Amino acid sequence: MCILYMAEPGSAAEWRQVFSQQAPELDFRLWPDAGNPDEVQYIIAWEPIPDLMQRFPNLKALYSAGAGVDQFDLSQLPEHVSMVRLIETSMADIMAEYVVFSVLALHRDIFDYQISQRERCWTPLPIVPASERRVGIMGAGNLGLVALDRLRPFGFQLSAWNRSYKEVPDGRCYVGREELYDFLEQCDILVNLLPLTPETQGILNAATLNRLPQGAGLVNVARGAHVAEEDLLQALDGGRLGGAVLDVFDQEPLSPDHPFWCHPRVLVTPHIASNVQVKGAVAVITANVEREQRGLPLLNVVDRSKGY
Ligand code: OXD
Q: What is the DSSP secondary structure assignment for residue 192, as one 8-state letter? A: E
Residues of the chain with pLDDT under 70: none
Question: Which of 274, 277, 278, 302, when mutated, tests ligand 1's pocket best, judged by the most ligand atoms within 8 Å of its CB?
Answer: 274
CB atoms within 10 A of CB 12: 16
Q: Which atom of ligand 1 is nearest to the CA of 66?
A: 5
Catalytic residue among 150, 172, 211, 271: 271
Q: Is the CB of 141 under 6 A from ligand 1?
A: no
Q: Is the CB of 138 under 6 A from ligand 1?
A: no
Tell me where in the chain the CATH 3.40.50.720 domain(s) lie: 2-86+276-293, 90-268
CB atoms within 10 A of CB 34: 17
pLDDT of residue 78: 96
C-alpha torsion 202→207→211→214, nearest 10:
100
Q: How far apart are CA 95 and CA 174, in angstroms?
A: 22
pLDDT of residue 178: 98
pLDDT of residue 119: 98
For residues 67 and 194, is the Cβ–Cβ distance under 8 A?
no
Query: CB-based contacts of 251: which residues, under 8 Å, 6+ apart?
Result: 224, 258
Active site residue 80: no
Give how far the C-alpha of residue 51 lies from the chain's centroid of Cα atoms, to the nearest Å: 27
Q: Is the CB of 197 under 6 A from ligand 1?
A: no
185 residue type, one letter: E
Active site residue 265: no
Q: How far apart are CA 43 and CA 2, in angstroms?
A: 9
pLDDT of residue 91: 96
Evaluate the CA torsion angle 181, 182, 183, 184 in order and state its sign. Answer: positive
CATH (residue range 90-268):
3.40.50.720
CATH (residue range 2-86+276-293):
3.40.50.720
Q: Is the CB of 224 under 6 A from ligand 1?
A: no
